[in-house]
Amino acid sequence: MDFSSPSPPMGSGQSPEALMEQVQAQLQQAYAEELIETLRGKCFDKCVTKPGSSLSSGESSCVSRCVDRYIEAMGIISRSLFSQQR
């Protein structure tokens, strides 16, 4: 996800292609935010079972693994849904 390219304001007479790029960039941003929110919920549930006065190193590494596993799960689900073989 690349947010580094500047985009012109919407509806300033730009081409359909540029508009489409802007739409796609905003969609990507929305997906990223949704994913982060989901990860917060899932990983807090799995890793921080009893909140203490700080996050232990065990809890921190659990969260890190949780993020990796969840993103891996997204790939597994995606391939499973969109592959042709049964």
Binding site for other proteins (CB under 8 A): 20, 23-24, 27, 31, 34-35, 38, 42-43, 46-47, 62, 65-66, 68-70, 72-74, 76-78, 80-82, 86
For residue 39, what are the contacts with CB-CB under 8 A and spacing of at least 6? 66, 67, 70
CB of 13 to other proteins, least distance (A): 19
CB atoms within 10 A of CB 63: 19
Of how many residues is the chain composed?
86
The distance from CA 80 to its chain's CA centroid, rounded to whole angstroms, is 19
CB of 77 to other proteins, least distance (A): 5
CB of 2 to other proteins, least distance (A): 17
